[in-house]
Amino acid sequence: MKQKLPYVGAGLGTVLCGAAAAACVYSLVTIRARPKKLLTESGSPQVPVGLLRLSHPGDEFLHLLRNDVLLEKTIDRVSSRLLIYVETPPGMATSARLQFLSDLYNNVWDLACYVGKYELDIRLVASHDRSWDELLATPEVTGVFGYHGMDVSELNAQRPAHLPRVGFYPLKTYVERLVNPAQFAYLEDPSTTLAKEAVVVVGGTFDHLHNGHKKLLSLAAAVTSSLLIVGVTAPHMLEKKKLGYLIQPLDMRKRKVTEYLACITPSLQADIMTIDDPFGPAISSPQITGIVVSTETVPGAVKINEIRAERGLSPLKIYVCRRTECSTLSSSFIREQIARR
């Protein structure tokens, strides 16, 4: 018998819509229509030429996520050229180093496209080829970015006296908001032992169901033991979407989700419901025990738990999946391609 959870998930709205943002809900049409950025999303001025210090993650998944955040925040802040100093382990095989650099070039291009910086000059420099001090002495550099704290006076002491002084932009705070194994369970981290939750929620538009959606649904199903609640965003919540006239009807989006889950895990009980208001029982239902989000939408799940705590409810276990290919793996990108036909 289907477990009855009256109204459960029916009001997950904003957060469930964010959960599916692993599938990128931002429209490239919007991005491409933007003028050249003079300010970041937070309103901070752009740095013309930036220098970021990055280290090879090895087999550490959390280190990989940390690098993702460092790259995203730095690319958002730099306007003209970005030098990325990549520290690789001593003795690392040439083939392994080149593979990592190749993958990194793909990643930074994707992130640059995502924020509309198609002309950003990004250069990866391996520690095998040049030293950090050499790059720091680059005359054009105006800002240095990094995870670990750096003393600005020491940074400038390493630059020739006739060169302009550089500023330091610490990113540790941004990283620790998203990369916190004490607070989140990372679904793709091989070092993590994952337990199943009785009732899990996940959601979004699920428009033109694509691999980003399928990844999110598959991972959510994998950590569900009893009931997976999938919230599909109601049409009235999508009225401001670019190319909204190409968004598939609600019934079609729900049917596609149902068909996909039935294919990959037919024994799983799933409740595919319409999401038409913010939060709702997500902040009041004791039956829900877990939520699956992407690295981009972690803050929404954190907010839910804050509200649940205020109401004396147990927090939801927050399961996080890594978001990749964000510039093209999205419903809005698909709609843009359809509009061009």
Q: What is the DSSP letter of 39?
A: B
Query: What is the tens place of the pLDDT at every residue in 21-59?
Result: 333 333 222 333 333 445 555 557 899 999 999 999 999
Closest by CA to 213, choosing from 7, 15, 17, 14, is 17
Q: Which fold has domain 13-26+179-340?
A: Rossmann fold (3.40.50)
How far is 157 from 175, CA to CA, in rounded Å?
27
Measure the CA–CA gap between 288 and 197, rounded to whole angstroms.
Answer: 9
Nearest partner of 323 among 192, 194, 219, judged by Cα: 219
The confidence score (pLDDT) of residue 154 equals 86
Encode pLDDT of 124-143 as tens digits. Answer: 999 999 999 999 999 999 99
Residue 24, CA distances (Å) to 63, 191, 236, 323 in order? 22, 27, 19, 8
CATH topology of domain 28-178: Rossmann fold (3.40.50)
Q: Based on C-alpha coordinates, what's the Rg of the chain?
A: 22
Residues with Cβ < 8 Å from 54, sequence gap 6 or more?
67, 70, 71, 84, 85, 86, 87
List C-alpha distances in Å: 126 to 10, 134, 245: 50, 12, 46
- Report phi then psi at 14, rounded to 5: -55, -45
Residues of the chain predicted below pLDDT 50: 1-37
pLDDT score of 20: 38
Distance CA 183, CA 256 (A): 32
Residue 124: per-residue pLDDT: 98
To 10 degrees, the CA torsion angle through 250, 252, 255, 260?
A: -110
Looking at residue 329, what is its pLDDT? Answer: 83
The answer to whether 13-26+179-340 and 28-178 have equal CATH topology is yes
pLDDT for position 70: 97
Domain ranges for the chain, please list them.
13-26+179-340, 28-178
What's the sign of the alpha-carbon dihedral 225, 18, 172, 52? positive
Burial of 319 (0-12, 13-18, 19+ CB in 10 A): buried
